[in-house]
């Protein structure tokens, strides 16, 4: 029996709400990833009906699409959602598949109301009373909501830079979200563009046995690279401890930690001159080493300059040179993709991120909440798990006022 079928049975068995609660439209949570599921569970704990809507057929759709070798960069303890821990059998660094199974169990455990296959295209103020909303969904549906939690994810829309000439590139160009494993690239010359955690892991994996014949990694700005854990102490724990300290103090404290890894400057990857937390506050989260350092030192991964454009089969680099890889994998990040949903409400900044987050709601849009749109050094899943009960409490207060 599929998780969705079990959810329907459990929802049918759930106790009825009070007459006052039923008279209000439900809270709609957009997105069935960890942030949306946690928010719905926290609302249910307070006796508030929540419906999770997602365009996919089941929970955790974006996680199912990640590359095969993915493991969380945050520990099992700090990756669990409220009300149900990730089982110890998943290990300290939870795999993609184990995390997806956990999300399925989480939805069943909390008997969450999931409306799968419902794609919301626009959120509008309901107009009947302050704080009520209308969600425009596929099939011409209009869903009324007493409050809305937007949890569509930080990594929503794959983004490839508008490199000149990229449409005429004679090789294969793909975004990293389409990469699954090194099998299709065995024996090929591959350029990975971008040295975030995704790009670093893909490059390291491709350079292994049975992978690409040549792997190059295009880097515009060298990142901070950290061990995932040192003597059993996870890098995330330092992020949790330091996240509220002044930026300068954290930058200084991080210097000796960064030097635990060898200097890769002779291989074209110098240590950054800008402090770790300064970079993190600007959106550049440190890279956790799961094989890249070794691959670079053994010259299985070659560092190149940033990509500037394409010219036929050639990739033009920032240093004026050109290379001719067969495959280019763009690990160039994502956009939030919130513009069609809420841009008309004036709630996004210049980078397309919400002006408010967590339990805060904008004065012009009471009852509309956002979760999962920050990327803190303490771990995104940990922070959205902490946001969930706060958002539920804010919605409950709004109903009492």
**DSSP 3-state of 379:** coil
* pLDDT computed for residue 89 by the predictor: 96
204's CB contacts (< 8 A; 6+ apart) are: 290, 291, 292, 294, 295, 301
For 117-146, the pLDDT digits (tens) are 999 999 999 866 666 899 999 999 999 999
DSSP 47-65: T--EEEEESSSSTTHHHHT
Instruction: For residue 12, name the pLDDT band (cuts at 50, 70, 90).
Output: very low
Instruction: For residue 64, name the pLDDT band (cuts at 50, 70, 90).
Output: very high
* pLDDT computed for residue 16 by the predictor: 36
* pLDDT computed for residue 19 by the predictor: 39
Q: Are 147 and 395 in contact, with CB atoms under 8 Å apart?
A: yes
Instruction: For residue 360, name the pLDDT band (cuts at 50, 70, 90).
Output: very high
Residue 22 has pLDDT above 60, yes or no: no
Equal fold, 3-156+336-400 vs 158-330: yes
**DSSP 3-state of 84:** strand
| Sheet order of strands, 189-193 included | 172-175, 327-330, 189-193, 214-218, 301-304
% of the chain with per-residue pLDDT over 90:
77
**pLDDT (average), residues 330-334:** 95
- CATH no. of 3-156+336-400: 3.50.50.60
* pLDDT computed for residue 13 by the predictor: 38
Share the mean pLDDT of the chain.
91
Residue 4 has pLDDT above 80, yes or no: no
Residue 203 has pLDDT above 90, yes or no: yes
Q: Are 380 and 363 in contact, with CB atoms under 8 Å apart?
A: no
Q: Closest Cα partner for 173 from 157, 161, 155? A: 161
For 216-271, the pLDDT digits (tens) are 999 999 999 999 888 888 888 888 888 888 999 988 888 888 888 899 999 999 99
Please give the biggest Cα pair distance in the chain: 71
Residue ranges covered by each domain of the chain: 3-156+336-400, 158-330
* pLDDT computed for residue 9 by the predictor: 39
Instruction: For residue 30, name the pLDDT band (cuts at 50, 70, 90).
Output: very high
The model carries a pTM of 0.89
Residue 62 CB coordination number (10 Å) = 19
**Which of 42-56, 65-79, 237-251 shows the lowest per-residue confidence on average (mean pLDDT)?**
237-251
Residue 109 has pLDDT above 90, yes or no: yes
- CATH no. of 158-330: 3.50.50.60
Per-residue CA distances from 300 to 161, 192, 211, 256, 297 (Å):
26, 13, 11, 27, 8
Half-sphere exposure at residue 391, Cβ-oriented, CA atoms within 13 angstroms:
37
* pLDDT computed for residue 244 by the predictor: 83
User: Angle between the 96-109 and 34-45 helix axes, to the nearest 10 degrees?
Assistant: 20
**pLDDT (average), residues 84-104:** 96
Tokens 């509220």 belong to 244
Instruction: For residue 368, name the pLDDT band (cuts at 50, 70, 90).
Output: very high
228's CB contacts (< 8 A; 6+ apart) are: 73, 93, 234, 235, 288, 289, 290
Q: Which is more confidently placed, 169 or 154?
A: 169
Query: What phi and psi values does residue 190 have, to the nearest 5 degrees?
Result: -120, 135
Q: Are 200 and 286 in contact, with CB atoms under 8 Å apart?
A: no
Q: Are 134 and 145 in contact, with CB atoms under 8 Å apart?
A: yes
């Amino acid at each position: 029996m599929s998780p969705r079928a079990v959810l329907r049975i459990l929802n049918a068995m759930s106790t009825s709400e009070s007459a006052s609660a039923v008279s209000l439209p439900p809270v709609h949570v957009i997105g069935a990833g960890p942030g949306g599921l946690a928010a719905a569970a926290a609302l249910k704990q307070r006796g508030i009906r929540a419906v999770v809507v997602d365009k996919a057929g089941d929970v955790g759709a974006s996680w199912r699409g990640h590359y095969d070798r993915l493991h969380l960069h945050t520990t099992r303890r700090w990756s669990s959602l409220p009300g149900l821990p990730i089982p110890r059998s998943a290990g300290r660094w939870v795999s993609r598949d184990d995390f997806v199974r956990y999300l399925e169990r989480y939805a069943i455990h909390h008997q969450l109301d999931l409306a799968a296959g419902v794609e919301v295209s626009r959120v509008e103020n309901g107009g009947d009373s302050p704080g009520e909303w209308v969600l425009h969904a596929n099939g011409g549906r209009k869903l009324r909501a007493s409050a809305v939690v937007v949890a569509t994810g930080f990594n929503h829309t794959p983004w490839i830079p508008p490199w000149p000439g990229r449409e005429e590139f004679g090789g294969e160009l793909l975004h990293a979200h389409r990469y699954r494993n090194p099998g299709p690239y065995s024996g090929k010359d591959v350029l990975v563009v971008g040295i975030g955690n995704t790009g670093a892991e893909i490059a390291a994996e491709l350079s292994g046995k049975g992978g690409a014949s040549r792997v190059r990694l295009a880097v515009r700005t060298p990142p901070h690279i950290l061990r995932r854990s040192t003597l059993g102490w996870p890098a995330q724990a330092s992020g949790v401890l330091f996240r509220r300290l002044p930026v300068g103090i954290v930058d200084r404290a991080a210097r000796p930690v960064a030097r635990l890894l060898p200097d890769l400057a002779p291989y074209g990857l110098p240590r950054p001159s800008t402090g770790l937390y300064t970079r993190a506050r600007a959106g550049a989260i440190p890279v956790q080493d799961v094989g890249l350092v070794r691959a670079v030192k053994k010259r299985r991964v070659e560092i190149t300059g940033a990509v500037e454009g394409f010219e036929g089969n050639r990739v033009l680099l920032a240093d004026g040179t050109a290379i001719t890889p067969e495959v280019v994998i763009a690990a160039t990040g994502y956009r939030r993709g919130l513009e069609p949903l809420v841009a008309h409400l004036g709630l996004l900044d210049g980078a397309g991120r919400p002006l408010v987050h967590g339990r805060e709601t904008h004065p012009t849009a009471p009852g509309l909440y956002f979760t999962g749109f920050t990327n803190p050094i303490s771990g995104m899943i940990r922070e959205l798990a902490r946001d969930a009960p706060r958002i539920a409490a804010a919605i409950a207060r709004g109903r009492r006022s």
